[in-house]
Chain A
């Protein structure tokens, strides 16, 4: 058996140069094919008209900048705003299909360094596509990414306006909750294992800005797995489930056994069935206000709590 293996290995090694040559040939063909498309390479820094987005937050930003009609490809996770669902899909967020991207003949591809397979992004660059990678880590990252994208689109003014709008929303919330005591918050994104929003995650920043104290921030990971007992010990006053597809009733039942947790006792368990609140995009300001309304309802006298619970993050859509 051993001998046989050696033989196989040898014949494989012998044919390695052939494989190598074939792959070179393939790459050359791809290059040549692309070079004939003037839009991709020669257009250079012209205002992009055909854009592919590799992340849901980028798609949202483009729509918020009023450039949604320039999108020719989005990921399967890009479901907001609704018109985004009708745009051709180029694969999922983590694993975009290079062929599908090429087929759209984009003059700009925008991605994020977190989540997407960076090897693929680099390959797109090597294939001659104009690629823009914008970091969205942290709230400051979100704001600078909006400006970067706006700059690439030649929409600097709209970018400034959008950033200003988000900053205004944030200031508004800050004023509202001024003087309110911080309340302990747990934000859950998976149950079994129990996954929470931890430190170094922009949602942790949002929770803090919304007058909450994230009990999972003691864990160094952005998405830590926590044992249930830790939650009991930290006694959160508000539990928010997001992106789990669970409705409020289901979330309440899940926690019902642990009556020593203040959030369970007081019924302060909320749920956002979708992951929209978790996206580091232009709706961060709105998400912040919604969080603040859940954490400090007393600071928002006219807030219609029921409305928020039912429609999730979309309730205060512009």
Chain B
């Protein structure tokens, strides 16, 4: 493995950071309705429509998109490395589904006698992310257990477990959808289609805290991840405590997925596409790949959401539709490449 120079680290991440900052500014300026920027800045503190569109309606949504996109991409990176499966990502493995289910149960069970706005905000930043986290963790453990064949993770078994788990969760959500009353039912559908919407700054802030916590936790395992991609036995001979690393990564990524899903529902394919593209560009050293994927994921989802907001203006699309539109074909491309590789390397079949 090539030595990772500090220079490359700064160059790549610095460049991506600048791109991300430009994207945030650009996407805040882009939208279905034109905004007068100078007026918005002038009237920052007063009730001016320009200022409210920019700073109250768009900016929180864009910032939320960065956290969710970045988080999904970094979870994709570590899951692909840990499970040594190029098709792994929180959405496909069913972890997002588990988080969704956890969040819904949390919302239903949350003791909101008279659901005032304040109580709902408290639920939004603490209780619901927590139950989502529990759901994500539980589903991750389940899927991990079921995907092992003779003590090894079997790649197809893993995907199969994910697919089945997703279908199961979808069924439970539709079941809940049909037994709760009409008004709650409408709100439940939000969890099934990934959707970014304007949230209070407090919520956005808390989600950022959860995501960054998870990200740094994952980052602390980068070297072990590098070795684990070479194989569990090899890594263990080199002093990696595979079990401990695995467990910590599961918890950290569940924390991130739980927080993200609790505000955006199930957004697919970000965790799949971004890690692959970044691996091609920056290489597979996780010390660089993880932060780079986080930044790139943020850039990708921010732009995807800008498309979602503006493509059919004034109506908007769920952002999950946009990411799936790019992601679906990409998924098939990956499958095709896998197939080619196998044909090429294993002519005996």
Contact = CB atoms under 8 A, between A and B. Distances in A.
B53 A233 contact: yes
B343 to A, nearest CB: 14
Interface string A182-205: 000000001011100010000000
Contact of A232 (B57, B116, B187, B318): B57
Interface in A216-239: 216, 218-221, 224-230, 232-235
A181 interface: no
B285 interface: no
A221 B182 CA distance: 22
A258 interface: yes
Contacts of B56: 232, 257-258
A27 B284 CA distance: 61
Contacts of A260: 47-49, 51-52
Interface in B18-55: 31-33, 47-49, 51-53
Contact of B33 (A92, A229, A243, A249): A229
B183 interface: yes
Contacts of B314: 216, 218-219, 224, 226-227, 230
B115 interface: yes
B190 interface: yes
B286 interface: no
Contact of B52 (A219, A227, A245, A259): A259
A152 interface: no
A317 interface: no
A250 interface: yes
B49 A233 contact: yes
A165 B133 CA distance: 56
A225 B315 contact: yes
B233 to A, nearest CB: 26
A259 B47 contact: yes
A176 B246 CA distance: 71
Contacts of A221: 315
Given A218-B314, A250-B117, A229 B53 contact: yes
Most buried by B among A92, A218, A228, A244: A228
A275 interface: yes
Given A250-B115, A250-B117, A260-B52, A228 B47 contact: no
Given A232-B57, A244-B183, A254-B117, A227 B32 contact: yes
Nearest to B186: A190
Contact of B198 (A198, A218, A228, A249): A228
B276 interface: no
A57 B240 CA distance: 67
A194 B197 contact: yes
Contacts of B52: 232, 257-261
Contacts of B117: 250, 253-254
Contact of A92 (B57, B178, B318): B178
Interface residues of B, number: 34
Nearest to B181: A245
Nearest to B309: A227
B302 interface: no
B195 interface: yes
Given A218-B314, A250-B117, A192 B190 contact: yes
A63 interface: no
B316 A235 contact: no
B91 interface: no
A251 B183 CA distance: 14
A77 interface: yes
B57 A228 contact: yes
B316 A225 contact: yes
A137 to B, nearest CB: 20
Most buried by B among A198, A257, A275: A257
Most buried by A among B51, B116, B178, B183: B183
A146 B318 CA distance: 37
B315 to A, nearest CB: 4
B183 A193 contact: no
B183 A243 contact: yes
A244 B58 CA distance: 24
Given A224-B314, A235-B49, A230 B32 contact: yes
A227 B57 contact: yes
Contacts of B181: 245
A193 B33 contact: no
Interface of A: 77, 92, 190, 192-194, 198, 216, 218-221, 224-230, 232-235, 243-245, 249-250, 253-254, 257-261, 265, 275
21 contacts: A192-B197, A193-B190, A193-B318, A194-B197, A218-B314, A226-B315, A226-B316, A227-B31, A227-B316, A230-B32, A230-B313, A230-B314, A232-B56, A235-B49, A245-B183, A254-B117, A258-B57, A259-B47, A259-B52, A260-B47, A260-B51
* Closest 3 pairs (CB-CB, A-B): A245-B183, A253-B117, A233-B33
Given A193-B190, A219-B315, A229-B32, 15 more contacts: A77-B182, A92-B178, A190-B186, A193-B316, A221-B315, A226-B315, A226-B316, A227-B314, A243-B182, A243-B183, A245-B182, A253-B117, A257-B200, A260-B51, A265-B47
